[in-house]
């Protein structure tokens, strides 16, 4: 490769790092597409379509307001009166729908609740600006006359709705009141604020009790719906323990077990892979449940009855117990499988099996919240080693031959990572830093932007997500950050993630170790075609090199994603289970879980540090 080719290759690698990360990608606002709507988990089936239509309305209205922005100042008489009226009614309804979306456990509802009132205020303002013009004055007089003329009829409509509510038909009452409200907003669009007030108060008097009762009813029903899903999924997760025990006992009895479908049989090693896969899959499922629990038990801003129970930290999330049980069940099941393996492995295969198990456990162990797996498998592995004459001695010698060097490799790799970390700021520290935000994508028509000192990437949504992700990106894209852990999603996926913590994770193409590193590791671990690892640490070292699993990663931020924390984990793909260590559930930061952000930073790694080696992509 000449210098040009090398440079091109490096650029391609960086681009690949930025773009080749689709495995857990879905639509959400990003630094390059900030206006993408926030996604939904859709636990309540009508939520996704409602969400889509509300974002559509927001987008349209924002564009319209941008058009009106200049007209409001230069020629307000030319503002389109009918469109203002229409928008006033529609946006009023949309604000209500956004709250409904929140009740459905969708954080997109929080975003829309941050977005739409701003639109409502500006539409109302356009009405006022128009009303101050000559044609506007006429329109106002006409509207007042119309309101007077229809007073009795409107009063009747309100009473009708009240009766519907009294007879228990809250949905019908709401429907009537919303139709009334939309029409009323169209009619009061050109009134002064003072003139609007009695009409709005009157509507509020009828609507508030309906809203209160209905939101309580809806929240309870939605929560129940979510709880049914949670319970069903948790039951499956608990079933894992039973299934794993069955497999272990079948293996123990006959050396093979039925795996998954009735016609699939497998020996102990195949069973171990199968159980490990089920374990990780169920861990993803438990994480989805934990997020749904947060979504439907979170405090909601504008919550009518304030029944939000908690801001949902791990302590109060009961699903952490399921995660703990799943962890223990997996550890026990795998230790049992190793025991069963020891029972059925013929002496001549004991060595190879021993190594194969060590490798599998090493990979799994990096995806767990503790080291119990390694510890619990020690005894069964000892029994396996005892199967072949001399194997236990060989294992002990191998330990002596490799542990010293691995001790030094770990010391050196750790020092290398520390040296690299000096020029890479910890991502969460960087994100939590206050800096002066100078630029925005917030349109002028949506309000004045004042540069100010703000947290680069706040934990909660406090302004529209599309502006937030843009402003955050101005400070993060291009910066050098580091994160703890980088684990490949699977042996076949290039995508790797850091384990979620502090409301963020990084996403990257895992860098493969340099060839010389792998070669040297094989020398250090005395590996060859016929000789595999015989210690856990050696297995940890070589599998980390082969899987590209790291404990640190540093790189340049290429893209920033703003995802809702609850949605991220409620829709966690099974393939991305390693985002949360098995045995844990994702923890939200302080504040209402429904408003929590899960930042995702796509980075192009320049280095990554494993326990026993460091990979530098800039040194190739």
- Residues near other proteins, by CB under 8 A: 351, 390, 393-394, 396-398, 400-405, 407-408, 411-412, 415-416, 418-419, 514, 516-517, 519-521, 523-524, 526, 528, 530-531, 534, 613
Task: Closer to other proteins by CB, 258 or 520: give it.
Answer: 520
Task: Closer to other proteins by CB, 180 or 536: give it.
Answer: 536
Q: Cβ(300)–Cβ(566) under 8 Å?
A: no
Please state the closest distance from residue 555 (CB atom) to other proteins, in A: 17
- Give me the phi and psi of 550, to 5 degrees please: -130, 160
Please state the closest distance from residue 416 (CB atom) to other proteins, in A: 4
The Cα–Cα gap between 68 and 513 comes to 57
Task: Closer to other proteins by CB, 227 or 414: give it.
Answer: 414
Task: Closer to other proteins by CB, 85 or 402: give it.
Answer: 402
Using DSSP, state whether 607 is helix, strand or coil: strand
Please state the closest distance from residue 415 (CB atom) to other proteins, in A: 3
Please give the structure tokens belonging to residue 475: 């400070």
Please state the closest distance from residue 339 (CB atom) to other proteins, in A: 24
Task: Closer to other proteins by CB, 519 or 620: give it.
Answer: 519
Sign, CA torsion 593/597/602/608: negative
DSSP-assigned beta bridge partners for residue 258: 265
The Cα–Cα gap between 581 and 152 comes to 64
Task: Closer to other proteins by CB, 280 or 406: give it.
Answer: 406
Phi-psi region of 478 (alpha: psi -120 to 50; beta: other; left: phi over 0): left
Task: Closer to other proteins by CB, 73 or 619: give it.
Answer: 619
The Cα–Cα gap between 66 and 558 comes to 30
Name the percent of the chain in helix, strand, coil, to the closest 5: 65, 10, 25
Of residues 487, 506, 491, 507, the one with CA closest to residue 577: 487
Task: Closer to other proteins by CB, 414 or 479: give it.
Answer: 414
Task: Closer to other proteins by CB, 336 or 524: give it.
Answer: 524
- DSSP-derived pairing of the beta strands 480-488 and 425-426: parallel
Please state the closest distance from residue 307 (CB atom) to other proteins, in A: 55
Angle CA 289–295–299, to nearest 5: 145
Please state the closest distance from residue 520 (CB atom) to other proteins, in A: 4
DSSP-assigned beta bridge partners for residue 426: 482
Task: Closer to other proteins by CB, 229 or 522: give it.
Answer: 522
Task: Closer to other proteins by CB, 440 or 520: give it.
Answer: 520
Task: Closer to other proteins by CB, 293 or 398: give it.
Answer: 398
The Cα–Cα gap between 279 and 272 comes to 10
Please state the closest distance from residue 519 (CB atom) to other proteins, in A: 6
The Cα–Cα gap between 512 and 547 comes to 8
Please state the closest distance from residue 568 (CB atom) to other proteins, in A: 35
DSSP notation for 29-69: -BSS-TTSPPP---SSTTHHHHHHHHHHHHHHHHHHHHHHH
Q: Cβ(497)–Cβ(577) under 8 Å?
A: no
Please state the closest distance from residue 518 (CB atom) to other proteins, in A: 9
Please state the closest distance from residue 114 (CB atom) to other proteins, in A: 46
Using DSSP, state whether 362 is helix, strand or coil: helix
Please state the closest distance from residue 618 (CB atom) to other proteins, in A: 11
CA distances from 237 to 29, 242, 264, 368 (A): 32, 10, 21, 16
The Cα–Cα gap between 112 and 61 comes to 13
Please state the closest distance from residue 605 (CB atom) to other proteins, in A: 17
Residue 70 buriedness (CB in 10 A; 0-12 / 13-18 / 19+): exposed
3-state SS of 413-450 is: HHHHHHHHHCCCEEHHHHHCCEEEECCCCCCHHHCCCC
Task: Closer to other proteins by CB, 484 or 522: give it.
Answer: 522
- Give me the phi and psi of 58, to 5 degrees please: -60, -45
Please state the closest distance from residue 321 (CB atom) to other proteins, in A: 38
Using DSSP, state whether 516 is helix, strand or coil: helix
- DSSP-derived pairing of the beta strands 597-609 and 504-509: parallel
């Amino acid at each position: 490769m000449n210098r040009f080719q090398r440079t091109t290759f490096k650029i391609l690698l960086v681009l690949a790092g930025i773009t080749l990360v689709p495995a857990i990608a879905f639509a959400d606002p990003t630094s390059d597409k900030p206006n993408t709507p926030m996604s939904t988990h859709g636990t309540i089936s009508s939520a996704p379509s409602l969400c889509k239509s509300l974002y559509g309305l927001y987008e349209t209205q924002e564009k319209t307001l941008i058009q009106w922005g200049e007209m409001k100042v230069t020629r307000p008489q030319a503002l389109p009166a009918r469109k203002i009226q229409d928008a006033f009614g529609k946006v009023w309804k949309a604000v209500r729908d956004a709250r409904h979306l929140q009740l459905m456990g969708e954080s997109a509802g929080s975003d829309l609740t941050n977005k739409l009132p701003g639109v409502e205020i500006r539409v109302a303002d356009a009405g006022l600006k128009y009303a101050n013009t000559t044609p506007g004055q006429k329109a106002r007089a006409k509207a007042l006359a119309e309101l007077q003329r229809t007073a009795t009829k409107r009063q009747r409509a309100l009473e009708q709705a009240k009766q519907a509510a009294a007879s228990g038909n809250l949905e019908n009452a709401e429907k009537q009141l919303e139709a009334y409200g939309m029409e009323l907003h169209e009619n009061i669009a050109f009134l002064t604020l003072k003139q609007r007030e009695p009409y709005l108060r009157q509507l509020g008097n009828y609507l508030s009790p309906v809203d209160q009762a209905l939101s309580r009813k809806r929240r309870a029903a939605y929560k129940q719906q979510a709880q049914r899903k949670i319970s069903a999924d948790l039951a499956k997760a608990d079933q894992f323990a039973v299934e794993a025990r069955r497999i272990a006992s079948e293996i123990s009895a006959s050396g093979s077990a039925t795996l998954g479908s009735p016609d699939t049989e497998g020996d102990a090693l195949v069973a171990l892979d199968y159980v490990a896969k089920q374990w990780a899959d169920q861990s993803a499922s438990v994480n989805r449940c934990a997020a749904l629990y947060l979504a439907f038990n979170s405090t909601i801003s504008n919550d009518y009855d304030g029944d939000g129970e908690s801001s949902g930290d791990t302590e109060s999330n009961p699903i952490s117990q399921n995660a703990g049980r799943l962890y223990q069940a997996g550890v026990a099941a795998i230790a049992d499988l190793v025991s069963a393996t020891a029972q059925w492995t013929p002496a001549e295969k004991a060595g190879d099996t021993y190594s194969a198990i060590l490798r599998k456990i090493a990979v799994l162990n990096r995806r767990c919240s503790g080291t119990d797996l390694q510890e619990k498998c020690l005894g069964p592995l000892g029994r396996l080693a005892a199967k072949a004459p001399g194997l236990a001695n060989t294992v002990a010698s191998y330990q002596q031959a490799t542990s010293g060097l691995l001790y030094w490799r770990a010391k050196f790799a750790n020092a290398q990572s520390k040296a690299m970390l000096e020029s890479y700021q910890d991502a969460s520290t960087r994100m939590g830093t206050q800096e002066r935000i100078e630029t925005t994508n917030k349109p002028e028509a949506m309000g004045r932007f004042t540069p100010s000192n703000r947290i680069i990437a706040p934990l909660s949504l406090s302004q529209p997500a599309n502006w937030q992700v843009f402003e955050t990106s101005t400070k993060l894209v291009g910066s050098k950050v580091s994160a703890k852990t980088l684990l490949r999603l699977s042996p076949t996926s290039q995508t790797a993630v850091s384990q979620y913590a502090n409301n963020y994770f990084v996403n990257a193409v895992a860098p493969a170790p340099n060839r010389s590193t792998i070669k040297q590791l094989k020398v250090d671990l005395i590996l060859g075609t016929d000789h595999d690892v015989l210690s856990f640490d050696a297995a940890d070292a070589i599998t980390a090199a082969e899987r590209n699993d790291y404990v640190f990663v540093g790189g340049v931020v290429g893209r920033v994603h703003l995802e809702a924390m609850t949605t991220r984990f409620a829709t966690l793909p099974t393939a991305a289970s390693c985002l949360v260590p098995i045995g844990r559930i994702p923890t939200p930061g302080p504040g209402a879980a429904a408003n929590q952000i899960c930042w995702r930073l796509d980075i192009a790694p320049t280095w990554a540090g494993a326990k026993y080696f460091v990979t530098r992509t800039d040194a190739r």
